[in-house]
Amino acid sequence: MAKGSDGVEDHVSIPAELLEEAVTVLLKALGLHGEEAKIIAGTLVDADLRGVSTHGVFRLKTYAERIIAGGLNPRAKISVVREASTMAVLDADNGFGQIAAYRAAQLAVEKAGQSGAAFIGVRNSSHFGRAGYFAEWIAGHDMIGFCFSNASPRLAPWGGREKMLGNNPWSAAIPTGGEPIVLDMANSIASAGKIRRAAQAGSTIPEGWALDSEGRETTDPLEALSGVLLPFGAHKGYGITLVAGILTGVLTGGVWDSQVTPVDETGRSQQVSHLLVAVRISDFMPAEEFKEQVNRIAIEIRKCPPAEGISAVYVPGDRGHEKRSAALQGGVPLAERTFRSLNDLADRLGVSLPKGWPLPNQMQV
C-alpha cells in the first residue's frame, strides 16, 4: 500500500508543477492576486516536496476557512511602519504569512546588499508555513539567512503546566555552493501538527511529547492538544522559544505569544510576527571561499562513521533536499485526506482543477 509524505495514509503522487498549478487556481478563486497565489502555492508545495506535510498543501483547507470566516485578508496591502538603512518593520495587514515573509526576505536581501546586514520585522501577519523556505531563499543570494516567527501558545515555561509560549519556529540557512545547510525547527519535541495527525488517525503519541491540562505526561493526542507540548532539551528549548518570541512579537511592535490567535480559530486575525535577517558573506570574506570551506566541512561530517542502527550521517537540510529531489522525479506523495480536501474546495468554489489532475478513483493504494 502506498504511503503519503507523513508515512501513514494512502496517497496519490502528483507532479509538483501540476500540484502547484492546482493550488494557485484555488488561491486565486479565494481572492488572491495571481502573483501572490503563485508565491503561496510554491511555499506549500515545497514543504510537501521535502516531506514536511504538516506545513504543506494540507494547510490550504484551513487557510480557505479563515478567508471565508473573515479571519484572513486575501487582498492585504503590506505597509512600511518603520525603516532605516539596515532595518524595517512591515505591517502585513492580516494577510498571508507567506507573502509577508517573502516580501520581508526580499527587502532583507536588498538592504543587506547595500549595508552588509539587514533585519526586517513583520507584525499583524499569520501562519507562514515552513520557516526554512525563507531563510533558504536568502541563502540563495550568497547571504546567511535567518527566519523567526512567534505563534499561539503551545508550551509552558519550563516546570509549569499552563500554555504561555508559542512553539516559535526559526531557521538558519548557509550557502555551500551546492545545496545549502538549512536548520529549520520549532522548539517542542514534536510539533502540534504531528500530534494532530495522530489524533486524526486514532493513534497514541510517545511518552515525553506532552502534558495534559493537569500537568501530567500523556500519550493521548487529544489531551496533549488541550495541554502543553514539551520542549526539546528541557529548559534549553524553553529558553530558545522565549527568545524567538521576544525577537518577533516584542521587537516588531506586534503582540506577545499569549495574544496570538490559534490558526484554527478561523474568524479572528492571528496577529503573528516574524523577523527575517540577511548577512552578506562578502563583507567577511569572499563568498566563494566561504562556500567552499562550508562545503568541505559538510562533506567531512557526512563521512563520519554512523552509530549502530543509523544508516548515514547528515547535515541539517540533507534529508529534505533528498526527498525534494525524489519527489520532483516521482511526484509529490499527497495524503488521501489532503487530496480529497483539494477536490472538495474546488467544488465549493466552483472552479475546475487543471488538466491532468487525477480523479478520486485514481488514488494509488
- Do 148 and 170 fall into the same domain? yes
Q: State yes or no: pLDDT of 361 exceeds 80.
A: no
Residue 1: predicted pLDDT: 33
Phi-psi region at 89: left, alpha or beta (left = phi > 0; alpha = psi -120 to 50): beta
The single-letter DSSP state of residue 357 is P
pLDDT band at 191 (very low <50, low <70, confident <90, very high): confident
Task: List pLDDT tens digits, range 56-87.
Answer: 999 999 999 999 999 999 999 999 999 999 99
Residue 26: predicted pLDDT: 98
- Do 312 and 175 fall into the same domain? yes
- Do 108 and 37 fall into the same domain? no
Considering the chain, what is the average pLDDT of its residues?
A: 94
Q: State yes or no: pLDDT of 364 exceeds 80.
A: no
Q: CATH number, domain at 266? A: 3.30.1370.60
Residue 7: predicted pLDDT: 46
pLDDT band at 28 (very low <50, low <70, confident <90, very high): very high
Q: CATH number, domain at 363? A: 1.10.1530.10
- Do 253 and 154 fall into the same domain? yes
Residue 203: predicted pLDDT: 94
- Do 180 and 253 fall into the same domain? yes
Residue 265: predicted pLDDT: 96
Task: List pLDDT tens digits, range 137-173.
Answer: 999 999 999 999 999 999 999 999 999 999 999 999 9
Query: What is the extent of the structural domain holding 15?
Result: 1-69+331-365
- Do 64 and 113 fall into the same domain? no
- Do 178 and 280 fall into the same domain? yes
Helix ranges restricted to H, the chain: 16-29, 34-49, 60-69, 97-115, 131-139, 192-201, 221-226, 235-245, 287-302, 318-330, 336-349
pLDDT band at 362 (very low <50, low <70, confident <90, very high): low
The arithmetic mean of pLDDT across residues 190-216, rounded, is 90
- Do 80 and 178 fall into the same domain? yes
Cβ distance 179 to 317 under 8 Å?
Answer: yes
How many structural domains comprise the chain? 3
Q: How many whole angstroms separate alpha carbon 37 and alpha carbon 269? A: 20
Residue 318: predicted pLDDT: 98
Q: How many whole angstroms separate alpha carbon 74 and alpha carbon 349? A: 15
Q: Which of 230, 258, 283 lies at the terminal end of a domain, its last residue?
A: 230
- Do 148 and 252 fall into the same domain? yes
Residue 363: predicted pLDDT: 55
- Do 225 and 263 fall into the same domain? no
- Do 167 and 295 fall into the same domain? yes
pLDDT band at 268 (very low <50, low <70, confident <90, very high): very high
Distances (CA, A) of 274 to 90, 235, 299: 10, 23, 32
| Cβ count within 10 A of residue 263 | 21
- CA gyration radius, the chain: 20
Residue 194: predicted pLDDT: 84
- Do 255 and 170 fall into the same domain? yes
Q: How many whole angstroms separate alpha carbon 49 and alpha carbon 64? A: 22
Task: List pLDDT tens digits, range 222-255.
Answer: 999 999 999 999 999 999 999 999 999 999 999 9
Q: State yes or no: pLDDT of 8 exceeds 70.
A: no
Q: Which three cell numbers stand for residue 325?
A: 529531489
Any idea which of 106-110, 138-142, 199-203 has the lowest mean pLDDT?
199-203
Any idea which of 5-9, 295-299, 356-360 has the lowest mean pLDDT?
5-9
The single-letter DSSP state of residue 208 is T
Q: What are phi and psi of 183, to 5 degrees?
A: -90, 120
Residue 332: predicted pLDDT: 96
Per the DSSP assignment, residues forming a β-bridge with 175 are: none
Q: Of 124 and 359, which is predicted with more confidence?
A: 124
Angle of helix 336-349 relative to helix 16-29, nearest 10 degrees?
A: 40
Q: How many whole angstroms separate alpha carbon 25 and alpha carbon 351? A: 8
Q: CATH number, domain at 222? A: 3.30.60.50
Q: State yes or no: pLDDT of 135 exceeds 50.
A: yes
DSSP letters for 221-254: HHHHHHSEEPBTTTHHHHHHHHHHHIIIIITTS-
Residue 258 burial (10 A CB sphere; 0-12, 13-18, 19+):
middle
Strand 143-149 to 272-280 pairing: antiparallel
Cβ distance 168 to 257 under 8 Å?
Answer: yes
